[in-house]
Chains A and B, each alone.
Chain A
Amino acid sequence: MTAFQTSRRGFLAAGAGLMLSLTLPLGRARAQTAATGPFVPNAFIRIGTDDTVTVMIKHLEMGQGPYTGLATLVAEELDADWAQMRAEGAPADNGLYANLFFGMQGTGGSTAIANSFMQMRKAGAAARAMLVAAAAQEWGVPAAEITVSAGQISHAGSGKSSGFGALSEAAASQPLPEDPPVKDAKDFVLIGTDRPKLDTVAKSNGTAIFTMDVYRDGMLTVVVAHPPRFGATVTSVDDAEALAVPGVEMVRQIPSGVAVYARNTYAALKGRDALVVEWDDSAAERRSSDELFAEYVTAAEEGGVTVEEDGDLAAFDGAAQVLEAEYRFPFLAHAPMEPLDAVIELADGKAEMWFGSQFPGFDRSTAAAVLGVPEEDLTINVLLAGGSFGRRAQGSAHIAAEAAEIAKAAGRDGTFKLVWTREDDLKGGYYRPMTLHRLRAGLDAEGNILGWENVVVNQSILMGTPMEGMLQGGPDATSFEGSSGLPYVLGAKRIGWARMESPVPVLWWRSVGHTHTAYAVETFLDEVLQAAGKDPLQGRLDLLPPEATRERGVLEKVKEISGWTGPQRDGRGYGVAYVKSFGTYVAEVVEVEDRGGVPHVSRVWCAVDCGIAVNPNVIRAQMEGGIGYALGTALHDRITLGAGGEVEQSNFHDYPMLRIGEMPAVEVAIIASSADPSGVGEPGVPPLAPALGNAWRALTGNKQYQLPFSGAIA
């Protein structure tokens, strides 16, 4: 099964049929008769004469499930049979394939289902209406008497029936419905049920094609020597020994470093090892993590700019008890299993790229600008990505840019595959920002919370990038989201943010600001509840205002499925945390054991409310995976800058991934809901670490004020 792959040949081979191009939401669209000519990538749906329904997926498939999710939405309204559904990555085209929440093509913020929910359903409904109209015309029966079910179009009165394929050409000449009706939720057949993911088979037999698997005739593999310190530039290069390595074809200086081009990967790596490069560190980051944290402490004391304020902090003056804590979080690398890569081909003034592009519009315009070609002369084929977790979504489009620089510097037509090694990845920046939190809370004698203050100190992800405009002059909420906007009633409140600057590039990392705010807020709140003599779970419920029904729903559900009896039982610790992120409400309970001073998480219970559950199977998978991703990070991971500013980690031996023996059993409960669907790729992550911190403190009394658990970060 390779139909989901971005394969031009496969697309053509499926034969002529119905192609729909829709500018949704609200169905203003035009039908095209699919020509026998070249692939025209301006459609969401293609129905082949062989009955296959191929959905062009505008979101990057990086494991979070949009190939299956968006195809489900189309299939639902098309009344297709699941077995006839296929998915293909849509190419770069901001006009056709914009994320409706972003206004440009892009995947992130757990928005794939949410922004596509009505658009893809309308697309499916429009196709269905045209097929029905075609059948009515061919059979000479009223369209209203025609039914469609599991891919079969039928007319009971005449006994006629047909699959989609036989009618696809006739359907193409039907007028496009202006605003095709979509189903009422009670009539959903596919939405809300489990069904096989479209990409599972190819990912289980080695045939799925990712960027690194693209091979073209005459292609050269390129690796780049990047500076050891962020912000450094090349002073001089001695490439004599590199060029002497058999297989190395050329060496070029590009803005991001020194590129080695070779006939195979091994030669490229050997060639890079043989380079002698001198770097200019005059603009480089030379501070260590230690030194940076010292500056962060000072900035926290100064209080930052106020990003949320409610009431008068003088309330602290009347407190019977004031709790304070300082939290530290390291830089984190995303470490997707497929290291960063891109393939670019130049021929006759035009360019074509193949890679797991997460912001195809940015990537396209950036690469085109580097090459000096019009955007329409640069095609990006979006392939499967072997993970991302935010890493492939760059405002700087630095991977597309580096690939284009390589192609440009080659000085000739040809195909070039840019490959980053794991070391390049872990040392290459674009980290979750290192962050410091200061929190304080005041309680009265009865344990009521009178005041809450939280100052967050870190670099901005958006400021200073081409995406700064999204902020419209305001502070960068991705830096402190989750510290602000809390649902709990906490008395007088102030949230401050201090922006720090560094040449170390930072980026959103699966759940972005919530990666640290959730830990600081939810573990500190746990301490506050303890000081007030309250149960962690009931205490949270008691702090919720009456209108917080969905928050309450997940907390009560996780209480039920975990059999919560309090923070300790039979020598094990139990902790709870609740976080709303990306529109989705998640509460998790962690069960922890003390194995010789090391926490071992044996079980996790998770309650999630993401509105309508389009594919419960994918939702459970994302919660399970998010929990494991968060747990490995909380236990093990940190990127630190040593004296002089060089990254101290290099590969999985010193930036360890969670392994199977550390993975807890996970039970997920999905809250039944009729609300519009929200995302699931990220929201499983934030509650895990604080629930673990709370469970560990309950079991051992130890307060963990920095992550990871395993060791020092400065």
Chain B
Amino acid sequence: MTKFIVNGREVDLDIDPDTPLLWALRDELRLTGTKFGCGIAQCGACTVMLDGMPRRSCVTPISMVEGSEVTTIEGMEGPEIAAVQSAWEAIDVPQCGWCQSGQIMSATALLQQVASPSDEDINNAMAGNVCRCATYVRIRQAIHDAAKTLEG
């Protein structure tokens, strides 16, 4: 049995402890906002927060998160995620949408640490999140917009 907290709720999973967190979240907990894109930490679609830090769930066996707090896109709260989602909606960032949960998790993590990120900060923080539709122009813009909202 592997115990950890997901979106504030304790879970206790009786599955192979090597199971990637990604598949545990999806297959066992039906939290489908976290997406599978590559399985090798190259695309970022599976990004979740692990004890408050972004983490690629596809390369995270559940044995590694025993006792930890996992937050998925469904469980995110706070001013940064709200600002990011509003900014995403205001300029229609998503196209196909598959990568966007991961993009939003990384963008939120960036804004939690850097209030007013430069273009270079954005390039560095978002380098691990692939968007095949190449919505990058709008991702960049929306992060800047969210930062302005948070400044008030």
A/B touching: CB–CB < 8 A: yes
A residues with a Cβ closer than 8 A to B are: 62-65, 196-197, 199-210, 212-213, 215, 221, 246-247, 264-267, 270, 335-339, 384-389, 421-422, 617, 621, 624-629, 631-632, 651-653, 657-661, 663, 665-666
Cross-interface CB contact of B132 among A201, A221, A387, A651, cutoff 8 Å: A387
Q: Which of A207, A270, A626, A663 gathers the greatest number of chain B CB atoms within 10 Å?
A: A663
Contacts of A204 in B (CB 8 A): 85, 88-89, 93-94, 100, 104
Q: Which of A336, A387, A632, A659 gathers the greatest number of chain B CB atoms within 10 Å?
A: A659
Count how many pairs of residues, one from A and one from B, have CB atoms less than 8 Å apart in the complex: 187
B148 on the interface (CB 8 Å rule)? no
CB pair A659 B72 closer than 8 Å: no
Question: Given contacts A206-B32, A652-B40, A657-B43, is CB(A632)–CB(B134) below 8 Å?
Answer: yes
Q: Which 6 A-B pairs have the closest CB atoms?
A: A206-B33, A628-B134, A386-B98, A63-B96, A203-B97, A63-B95
CB pair B138 A337 closer than 8 Å: no
CB pair A201 B98 closer than 8 Å: no
Question: Given contacts A201-B89, A386-B96, is CB(A659)–CB(B38) below 8 Å?
Answer: no
CB pair B33 A665 closer than 8 Å: no
CB pair A660 B139 closer than 8 Å: yes
Sample of 19 more A-B contacts, CB < 8 Å, known A265-B36, A335-B132 = A201-B89, A205-B73, A206-B72, A210-B97, A213-B26, A264-B19, A265-B26, A265-B27, A266-B16, A338-B35, A338-B37, A387-B96, A422-B38, A624-B138, A626-B134, A628-B135, A629-B134, A658-B130, A661-B127
Contacts of A631 in B (CB 8 A): 134
Cross-interface CB contact of A621 among B39, B95, B104, B126, cutoff 8 Å: B95
In chain A, what residue has the closest Cβ to B42? A652
In chain B, what residue has the closest Cβ to A61? B96
**How far does the alpha carbon of A267 sit from the alpha carbon of B24 in the complex, in Å?**
11
User: In whole Å, how far is B17's beta carbon from the nearest beta carbon of chain A?
Assistant: 11
Contacts of A64 in B (CB 8 A): 95
Beta-carbon contacts under 8 Å, B72-113 to A: 72-74, 85, 88-89, 92-101, 104
Binary contact readout B57-80 vs A (1 if CB under 8 angstroms, 0 otherwise): 000000000000000111000000
CB pair B96 A385 closer than 8 Å: yes
**How far does the alpha carbon of A204 sit from the alpha carbon of B102 in the complex, in Å?**
10
CB pair A628 B136 closer than 8 Å: yes
User: In whole Å, how far is B31's beta carbon from the nearest beta carbon of chain A?
Assistant: 8
Contacts of B3 in A (CB 8 A): none
Binary contact readout B109-152 vs A (1 if CB under 8 angstroms, 0 otherwise): 00000000000001110110111111111111000000000000
Contacts of B94 in A (CB 8 A): 63, 197, 199-200, 203-204
CB pair A660 B123 closer than 8 Å: yes
CB pair A206 B136 closer than 8 Å: no
In chain B, what residue has the closest Cβ to A267? B16
CB pair A63 B136 closer than 8 Å: no
| Chain B residues within 8 Å of chain A by Cβ, number | 56
CB pair B130 A663 closer than 8 Å: no
Question: Given contacts A246-B16, A624-B138, A628-B136, is CB(A206)–CB(B34) below 8 Å?
Answer: yes
User: In whole Å, how far is A340's beta carbon from the nearest beta carbon of chain B?
Assistant: 12
Q: What are 28 A-B contacts defined by CB distance under 8 Å?
A: A199-B97, A200-B89, A203-B94, A205-B33, A205-B85, A206-B101, A207-B33, A212-B36, A264-B27, A265-B36, A336-B96, A337-B130, A337-B131, A338-B37, A386-B99, A388-B96, A421-B39, A617-B92, A621-B92, A621-B138, A625-B95, A651-B40, A657-B43, A657-B130, A658-B134, A659-B130, A661-B123, A665-B137
In chain B, what residue has the closest Cβ to A210? B98
Question: Given contacts A204-B88, A206-B32, A661-B127, is CB(A625)–CB(B73) below 8 Å?
Answer: no
Contacts of A270 in B (CB 8 A): 16
CB pair A206 B88 closer than 8 Å: no
User: In whole Å, how far is A313's beta carbon from the nearest beta carbon of chain B?
Assistant: 41
Contacts of B104 in A (CB 8 A): 204
**How far does the alpha carbon of A631 sit from the alpha carbon of B133 in the complex, in Å?**
12
CB pair A215 B30 closer than 8 Å: yes
In chain A, what residue has the closest Cβ to B88? A204
**How far does the alpha carbon of A393 sit from the alpha carbon of B137 in the complex, in Å?**
28
Cross-interface CB contact of B23 among A265, A336, A338, cutoff 8 Å: A265
CB pair B127 A337 closer than 8 Å: no
